[in-house]
Amino acid sequence: MSASAGTFTLPVEICPGDIDELGHVNNGVYLRWAQDIATAHWRARATPEMLARYVWVVTRHEIDYRAQLVAGDVIEARTWVAPAPRGALWTRHVAIWKAGAAKPAAELKSDWCLLDASTRRVLRVPADIPARFVE
């Protein structure tokens, strides 16, 4: 997985409740972080009209865990989207980085589906959306 020029970053804070009985960040927390950065990216780049007209739902997640994260680690999430959607689906990548690390602690790949906000019907991703997210 490699980031494109359209990478969006967000600092992430590890909260006490994120730590599991093994003393590291629980695997489910990574999904929350992926959702948080995807939502922040959408809100940062979409127009007010897009925000009112469309919503996204996840259809699939894949996660590769590379290194554990523990309380006190300074981390950030980075996300970018595939160069082009496939109909209603668009693949999003998320990498979770510990400060100073040579490689991400986790890499996520998710397929998101575009829906009409009012009817919740599946929509093909219009061309004006990728133009705002792929640089």
Q: Which single residue is written with the structure tokens 């980031």?
A: 3
Eight-class DSSP state of 7: -
Residue 48 lies in a domain: yes
Look at residue 126 in the predicted model and tell me its pLDDT: 97
For the chain, give me the number of helices (H) and strands (E)?
Answer: 3, 5
**pLDDT (0 to 100) of residue 6:** 84
* 3 pLDDT higher than 90: no
Could you tell me where the beta strands, DSSP code E, fall in the chain? 8-12, 54-65, 75-81, 89-98, 106-116
Residue 1 lies in a domain: no
> What's the confidence (pLDDT) of residue 58?
97
By residue range, what is the domain housing residue 78?
A: 8-133
What phi, psi does 18 have (nearest 5°)?
Answer: -80, -20
Number of domains into which the chain is organized: 1
Q: Is residue 59 part of a domain?
A: yes
CATH assignment at residue 62:
3.10.129.10
* Cβ-contact 82, 52 below 8 angstroms: no
In angstroms, the CA 63 to CA 86 distance is 21
Query: In this predicted model, what pLDDT tens digit does every residue of 83-134 receive, in sequence order?
Result: 999 999 999 999 999 999 999 999 999 999 999 999 999 999 999 999 999 8
As a whole-number percent, the residues of the chain with pLDDT over 70 amount to 96
Query: Would you say residue 98 lies in a domain?
Result: yes
Q: What is the pLDDT at residue 2?
A: 45
- The confidence score (pLDDT) of residue 86 equals 97
pLDDT value at position 5? 54
